[in-house]
Amino acid sequence: MRSTLLALSLTLALAPAAAFEKPGIDAFFDAMAIEAAPGQQSRFVAGDNLAGYFEGFTHSHERGAGYVLKSGTVFHNYVSSVDGVANARAGGREQVLPFGHRVAYANGSVEELALLSKRHALALRVGSARPARLGLKPLLITAGAVTQRDGVVIVAPGKGATQYMALAASQAFTLEDGLLLRASAPATSFTVVAAFGASAAEAGERARRLAAGDPIGDERRATYAALTRSYLATSDVEYNKALNWAKAASKLFVVDEYGAGIWAGLPWFRENWGRDTFIALPGTLLVSGQFADAKAVLANFARFQNLRTPRDKDYGRIPNRVSPDEIIYNTVDGTPWMLREAHEYIRYTGDKAFAREMYKLAVPYFEGAIANYVDTDGLLRHAASDTWMDARIENATHQPWSDRGPRANDIQALWYTALNTGAWLADQAGDAKRAREWRALAAKARASFLRLFWDGAAMADRLRADGSRDLKVRPNQLMVATIPFDDFVPGAVQARVTKNAVSALLYPYGIASLSQDDPTFHPRHENPDFHHKDAAYHNGTIWGWNAGFTVTALNRFGYQDLSWALTQNLGKQILGVGIDGTLGNMSENLDALPHPGGKLKPSGTFAQSWSVAEYARNGYQDYVGFRPDLPNNMLAFEPAIPGAWSRFEAVLPFGFDEEIAVDFSRKAARQRWTFTLRGKQTRTLRMAWLNDDKRRMQSEFTLAPGKPVTLELGAGRATLDGRRLALRQLRPSYADTIGTLRFAKPKDYRSEDFPMLRERDALRGIVERGEYR
């Protein structure tokens, strides 16, 4: 595998632009495979993109939940055998892949598991270098009666399960004790499919059909196609690997359980959460070119909009959570995030017909919000726990652990963005009156926000009920710069906010949810000797997804080398380097401060959608800088290329079956970009690049399909195929305002140094006594 990575690196670094092609399927997965060290038992997960996932552990038959379904988990694991001798996985060479794993043994045999996307089934295969009696034995958690007919084994539902499981094989087999399926004749390959269904007939037909083909090969090909629909390969092969894993990990959360949706996390956030879905959507479905799925997710959430009569206080909102048991609307930011991502989907695709559908959602949303939550300043009020920092104390009044009401800074940035998006949608629908009203309200909110939240030096995290400013240093202030499509606050304010937040909160491994100098800071998430875990949840604990908007802010102002160092460290988390996490994924949280030896401790869910989605989004939107605007026929680039990148190649999808191929190289201070448009019509390309002094300069030119052009940048000039282009300044340098940025140094963990650890449940006492400020 190491030689494959080296070969790919050399090809990328040395090949001329015209020679670049995406790697073949075998090279792609060889480079992507994560190999577990001998004896290492680490978690890995794969998703079926319907309603289930598989959890296993490397080098183990016993650990892991297996193929988890809400209808009951039946399949736990499996054992392969050669000539009657079982393979001992603890001694195998195991590689984790996006759809499962592959284990090679000293006897020359190889076993594989692939969870099959949208098939309600998984496939097992054992291969041997020589013909042998090959066997596969599913290990089940529960089972009813076992029957065999016409070459298919049916396992009736056992205790706690409602689905039938059917087993079918690639060739004739004998069924032996313990549910062992052994090939009837010596062979070099033997495949078994385990399929599930509401009836024996449904499960049996599904298993038989899949086993007759090449289920693992088909899954490899489908996964390759999905992961290379967009493609980015840089001169850093470890980053390329982490990026592809982030895309694969994001993909596993895309489900079709309550209609199209994106699960929030595993194992316990297996529902469609409004806020989480739309924060994850661009990194999961837009940068990857999965536009039909993005549209389906948006349309599905729209059908759950609260349109109840008589109207209640949540009228017009989309749900906070959709689950079989209930649909709840207790989120202030779910609908603004959805409107933002609907607009971003339209910008990627040019789907103006969908804009009319989203306008129908916007009208009741704004009617409800304006009637129930907008104050005289034009700002959006909300409950204390209705932002993403939503943890509540389990007491009689469900008080917030981190009160952010009634006006939080990120909510106002979202409100402003939603209003401008709504006005644009109204324009598309021909509703000039509402467009004017919503733009006017956006302008009012913008002016009020700057006056009330910013004092010239610090950005308030929220305005308290009495109007006073809460100056706790949290990462939310960065969203004031990164959520809007335009400048919600002046660039100089964004720059100062970026400096303030990064200097106080950004560690090499993530950004803290609260400054370590705040008296309510909690250095550990799960620290039961001192407090409930939710006390720390938003009071110091690292959230993976917050790194996404941190990278966006840093790159905007030309500090991409600092963000690149963060990205590299996050990539190590994804690849399982120096951390006991889920291989190929990211947890929801990390403890704020390292453990002895600098070890990081994951917490929260073991795999979280928005954590990996934001990592993927950063690569395409913030480093390469691709942000199309098809309603204006614009392919916009605002790159921030790390100094460590000498070269990259990218394929960037947009519209419907269109893409732009990019070849980038750098020599000293000069950049060379070659663009090839693969599409249906001429487009305008707008390039806004960073000068050495961190100013952003902008040029525009037209691209015709199939005609490569070369843009050269440097020394204060831009040329296109040798012809000098006109320049204008898009954004001045704020280097004097921001200065030198570096990671904050995490404090050593000593319980006596932190007020929240000097007595048990200290924060709970503060909140319940009404002393929280």
Summarised one tens digit per residue, pLDDT across range 272-295 is: 999 999 999 999 999 999 999 999
pLDDT digit string (tens) for 38-68?
Answer: 999 999 999 999 999 999 999 999 999 999 9
Give the chain's mean pLDDT: 96
Distance CA 629, CA 306 (A): 30
Taking residues 333-361, report their average pLDDT.
98
- Assign 20 a pLDDT band (cuts: 50, 70, 90): low
Q: Look at residue 390 and tell me whether its pLDDT is greater than 90.
A: yes
Mean pLDDT score, 672-692: 96
Structure tokens at 188: 């070099």
The region that residue 592 occupies, defined by phi over 0 for left and psi between -120 and 50 for alpha, beta otherwise, is alpha
pLDDT at 649 over 90: yes
For residue 606, is pLDDT > 90? yes
Q: What is the pLDDT of residue 15?
A: 39
* Beta strands at 469-470 and 506-507: parallel, antiparallel or unpaired: unpaired
Sign of the torsion angle spanned by Cα atoms 652, 657, 658, 664: positive
Is the predicted pLDDT of residue 1 greater than 80, yes or no?
A: no
Sheet containing 164-169: order of strands: 34-35, 93-97, 100-104, 110-116, 121-132, 187-197, 164-169, 152-155, 146-149
Q: How many CB atoms lie within 10 A of CB 367?
A: 14
Using an 8 Å Cβ cutoff, are 406 and 386 in contact?
no
Q: 21 or 656, which is more confident? A: 656
**pLDDT score of 8 more than 50:** no
Which sign, positive or negative, has the C-alpha torsion 526, 527, 529, 534? negative
Percent of the chain predicted with pLDDT > 70 = 97
* pLDDT at residue 264 in the model: 97
Confidence of residue 668 (pLDDT cuts 50, 70, 90): confident
Instruction: Count the Cβ atoms, other than its own, within 10 Å of residue 744.
Output: 18
Length of the chain: 773
Task: State the pLDDT confidence band at 10, using cuts at 50, 70 and 90.
Answer: very low
In this prediction, residues 161-181 reach a mean pLDDT of: 97
Question: What is the per-residue pLDDT across 699-714, written as a single tens digit (0 to 9) for each?
Answer: 999 999 999 999 999 9
Three-class DSSP category at 472: coil
Q: Report whether pLDDT(2) > 60.
A: no
In this prediction, residue 59 carries a pLDDT of: 98
| pLDDT score, position 325 | 82
Query: Residue 716: what pLDDT?
Result: 86
123-to-98, 204, 355, 668, 686 alpha-carbon distances in Å: 14, 14, 41, 51, 47
Q: Is the pLDDT reported for residue 256 higher than 90?
A: yes
Show the DSSP H helices in 541-608 as ranges.
Answer: 546-556, 560-575
Q: What percentage of the chain has pLDDT greater than the value 90?
A: 95
Report, as an integer, the average pLDDT of 218-242: 98
- Per-residue tokens: 389: 């920092």
Q: Is the pLDDT of residue 216 over 60?
A: yes
Mean pLDDT value of segment 525-543: 98
pLDDT per residue over 719-734, tens digit each? 999 999 999 999 999 9
Using alpha carbons, list the distances in angstroms from residue 651 to 283, 295, 624, 675, 710. 15, 21, 11, 10, 16
Q: What distances in angstroms separate CA 173 from CA 79, 129, 135, 616, one per listed residue?
A: 16, 20, 9, 44
Pull the structure tokens for residue 60. Answer: 């183990």
Amino acid 694: pLDDT: 97
Residue 623 DSSP symbol:
I
| Predicted local distance difference test score (pLDDT) of residue 17 | 44
- Taking the alpha carbons at both ends of the chain, their separation in whole angstroms is 54
Please give the C-alpha separations between residue 770 and each of 215, 400, 519, 642, in angstroms, as whole numbers.
Answer: 60, 11, 16, 47
pLDDT class for 16, splitting at 50, 70, 90? very low
What pLDDT score does 324 carry?
Answer: 80
CA dist list (Å): 577 to 128, 381, 600, 747 = 31, 43, 11, 23
- In this predicted structure, the answer to whether residue 5 has a pLDDT above a threshold of 70 is no
DSSP H or E stretch at residue 255: strand 254-256
Residues 94-127 pLDDT 10s:
999 999 999 999 999 999 999 999 999 999 999 9
The predicted pLDDT at position 308 comes to 97
List, in sequence order, every residue forming a beta bridge with 590; answer none if it has no partner.
542, 602
Among 119, 68, 113, 75, smallest CA distance to 256 is for 119
